[in-house]
Amino acid sequence: MYRFFVDKSQISEHEIRIEGADRNHIRNVLRMKPGEQIAASSGDSLEYTCQIKEYTGEAVIAEILYAQETELELASKIWLFQGLPKSDKMEFIIQKAVELGACAVVPMATKRAVVRLEGKKEEAKRRRWQGIAESAAKQAKRMIIPEIFPVHRFKDAVAMAETLDVRLIPYELAENMEHTREILSNIRPGQSVGLFIGPEGGFAPEEIKEAMARQIRPITLGRRILRTETAGMAVLSVLMYLLEE
């Protein structure tokens, strides 16, 4: 069943109005007919099963058949702080991070990041990344659309993460896999998690030092060096496994 996201203002007692690009997608791309069923979510734990009633000039009117509480989201909110990678790798990273349960992605400008985004170019990229996050959330049957934040400087991203319960930074010079296993296995459902991933070339030593000074814990991902688009997915996969209820 296709899933769509709506604002709470679009939900009435018996109907949901689906507007904008989703209205066009339902009618002209999916070519769905009145009587066919769709699912809708407004960002909370309620999933609405609906039946298309009619098309108007501006919206799809869907009749609510029933609403139910669902637990499709992870019990913990996982924030991915991702160093800006080259080319279009960020699109892949965002897509997979959303599929694996991340609640937000914060792109970071770090010392070794080759890519530099600012001004109109940055905003255009962020809008595209947000669209990719929405598409991935629909495909994965998420109940929320994870937010893609504007690009943050590393020090600002570190400060942003201070309110999170657990903060981790995979680092190629970190050792002791048993210690990493212990840290990950001790994360409990309900705790918020911040995961810092460096760009190609990794983090600079001074960035690791700053992170550790802010109580962000280095962990190892093993003896192999993972690409930036692989490292975050490896940790997110482990966290999804551990936190899935």
Does 88 share its domain with 207? yes
R_g (Cα) of the chain, nearest Å = 20
Residue-level pLDDT at 77? 94
Residue-wise DSSP of 185-221:
HT--TT--EEEEE--TT---HHHHHHHHHTTPEEE--
Does 100 share its domain with 210? yes
Phi, psi of 107 (to 5 degrees): -65, 140
Q: Which of 50, 69, 88 is the last residue of a domain?
A: 69
Contact 18, 7 (CB under 8 A): no
Does 34 share its domain with 138? no
Contact 236, 229 (CB under 8 A): no
Report how many domains make up the chain: 2
User: CATH no. for residue 39?
Assistant: 2.40.240.20
Q: Which of 69, 102, 122 is the last residue of a domain?
A: 69
13, 65, 71, 132, 135 from 9: Cα distances, Å: 11, 18, 23, 24, 21
List the pLDDT tens digit at each of the 245 positions of the chain. Answer: 899 999 999 999 899 999 999 999 999 999 999 999 999 998 887 899 999 999 998 999 999 999 988 877 898 999 999 999 988 899 999 999 999 999 999 999 998 887 777 777 888 999 999 999 999 999 998 999 999 999 999 999 999 999 999 999 998 878 788 989 999 999 998 999 999 999 998 999 999 999 999 999 999 988 888 999 999 999 999 999 998 86
Domain assignment of residue 14, given as a range: 3-69
Q: Name the pTM for this structure.
A: 0.86
Residue-level pLDDT at 245? 67
CA-CA distance, 54 to 49, in Å (whole number)?
A: 16
Contact 185, 242 (CB under 8 A): yes
Does 100 share its domain with 53? no
Does 93 share its domain with 46? no
What's the whole-number average pLDDT of the chain? 92
Structure tokens at 198: 């460096």
Q: What is the pLDDT of residues 110-130, one digit of tens each?
A: 988 877 777 778 889 999 999
Strands 15-19 and 59-69: antiparallel
Strands 3-5 and 104-109: unpaired
User: CATH no. for residue 177?
Assistant: 3.40.1280.10
